[in-house]
Amino acid sequence: GKTPLRALINRDPDDLRTQARAATARYAAGRPLGPLDGVPVGVKDELDQAGYPTTVGTRFLGTRPALEDATVVARLRSAGALLYGKLNMHEIGLGVTGLNPHHGAARNPYDPTRATGGSSSGVAASIAAGLNPIAVGADGGGSIRIPAALCGVVGLKATFGRISEHGAAPLCWSVAHVGPLAQDVRDCALAYAVMAGPDRHDVNSTAQPPVDLTGWDDRDLTGVRLGVYRPFFEHADAPIVAACDAALQDLRRRGAAIVEIRIPDLALARVAHMVTITSEMVASQAQHSAKHRRQYGHDVRLNLALASRLTQADYIHAQRVRVRVQRHLDEALRHCDAIVTPSTARTAPELPADALLTGESNLEDTDRIMRFAAIGNLTGLPAISVPAGFDDQGLPIGIQFMGRAWTESLLLRLAGAVEAGVGRPAPKVHRRLLT
């Protein structure tokens, strides 16, 4: 039989019908709430949606329904979004494949035998499969951009603090970013515009410049400098490097200049990020881990056990490395406007049958999948993944752009230019809800 997509893990049909009837009435009266009125939008099970439990991909945490929406969910609701349920994720966000022993692994619509990427697994799968054009994800180490790349959709991790974290599970607070995934760059820009901006409930979001999308859809890139650090850029499978190089050449034809740059200490940066995110994950689970130790999946249990061996000194040293890496990137971005890399170093891996039940701890795959993403979380700089092509097995390839703080408009502009030059075949699993 058909393999279930397993993108959606919690829904309330009565609530959805109530929302739909209200949107229909507003449409008939010519009084839409906002730019997303009637548009189906899914929410990662890491963010509060009133009336739904926030279980962070488990069956034993957050079992009581949330009393109010997370700030971004409230903003989407105010814009008219049809919030249709909670989307699957890698358990507690601690993984990049989307494997989940509690709800089942979300499947990649381009090949259901392969991973979606994670941790926003059901988020990317739902968009690629045509269930919704926009969804809300969260990204602590690539968790928006990785599944976007592996499932052939668009994912934006904005500057740290640009989008409120209020109402999101505090899993890895210093590297976490809530953000949009979407079927195309225009929808991603629209969702970002609705979600972004200061929020008095999140102190990290209060001091930011105005959200400005001026020129985001300008495809003339004259004067834009794209930085490439070749040894890093080419540290990926050959079809990925080829697709990203082809995208670069297309951007050059649109007027962009390609600039060779250097970024020291990238391997050290990945270690510092791993120490930071896993230490914070262990702290976030401290009140639960003794009671629920045997209920976590095997891979999450192993990762929490390993991370619990890290010391306070390890964490402090990682923050010192973090400052150093931020300086390296500031220096690189003096010579260019955006840094270009592949989004991942490999396309979607196959899902081993035994891993579907127990999870999997494949450190080599984890490194190859996270390689280019984590630096954006460590530094808080904005980054976007957009489809750049497909490999010979028909699996999506993503290209990533990372810029200076608050330059989301430029990143959307670059992603839109890539998108304009790349054809995207429909995946094997796809439902056209609108004709």
Query: Across residues 62-82, what is the average pLDDT?
Result: 97
Taking Cα atoms as reference points, which of 161, 158, 221, 228 lies closest to residue 193?
A: 158
- The mean of the pLDDT values for the chain is 97
69 within domain boundaries:
yes
What residues contact residue 1 under an 8 Å CB cut-off, 6+ apart? none
Whether the predicted pLDDT of 80 surpasses 70: yes
pLDDT at residue 239 tops 90: yes
pTM above 0.85, yes or no: yes
Place of tokens 């939008």: 41
428 within a domain of the structure (yes/no) = no
End-to-end CA distance of the chain: 27
- The better pLDDT of the pair 3, 278 is held by 278
Catalytic residue selected from 120, 121, 143, 164: 143
Q: What distance in Å separates the CA atoms of residue 275 and residue 5, rounded to the nearest whole number?
A: 33
Verify whether residue 308 is a known catalytic residue: no
Q: What is the DSSP string of 266-303?
A: HHHHHHHHHHHHHHHHHHHTHHHHHHHTTTS-HHHHHH
Quote the pLDDT of residue 434. Answer: 59
Three-state SS for 85? strand
For the stretch 148-201, pLDDT in tens is 999 999 999 999 999 999 999 999 999 999 999 999 999 999 999 999 999 999
Residue 3 belongs to a domain = no
Indicate if the pLDDT at residue 1 is higher than 60. Answer: no
pLDDT tens for 247-295 read: 999 999 999 999 999 999 999 999 999 999 999 999 999 999 889 989 9
Q: Is 377 helix (H, G, I), strand (E, B) or coil?
A: helix
Asked if residue 433 belongs to a domain, the reply is no
State yes or no: is 205 an active-site residue: no
* Residue 435 pLDDT: 47
Q: Is residue 131 part of a domain?
A: yes
Assess if residue 410 is contained within a domain: yes
Selected catalytic residue, list 44, 164, 284, 409: 44
Residue 434 lies in a domain: no
* Cα 213 to Cα 113: distance, rounded to the nearest angstrom: 38
What pLDDT shows up at residue 358?
72
Which of the four pLDDT bands, split at 50, 70 and 90, describes residue 432? confident
What CATH number has the domain bearing residue 191? 3.90.1300.10
| Mean pLDDT value across residues 24-52 | 97
Q: Which of 119, 120, 279, 284 is catalytic?
A: 119
- Please report the pLDDT score of residue 290 as a whole number: 85
Q: Which domain holds residue 98?
A: 8-420
For the chain, the domain total comes to 1
- By CB atoms closer than 10 A (0-12, 13-18, 19+), residue 328 is middle
Q: Please indicate, yes or no, if residue 413 is contained in any of the structural domains.
A: yes
Q: Which two tokens stand for residue 406?
A: 């608050």
Residue 121: strand, helix, or coil:
helix
Nearby residues of 215 by Cβ (< 8 Å), 6 or more positions away: 409, 413
Q: Is 361 a catalytic residue?
A: no
What digits encode the pLDDT tens for the residues 314-370?
Answer: 999 999 999 999 999 999 999 999 999 999 999 999 998 888 877 777 888 999 999
User: At residue 223, does pLDDT exceed 90?
Assistant: yes
- % the chain with pLDDT above 90: 94
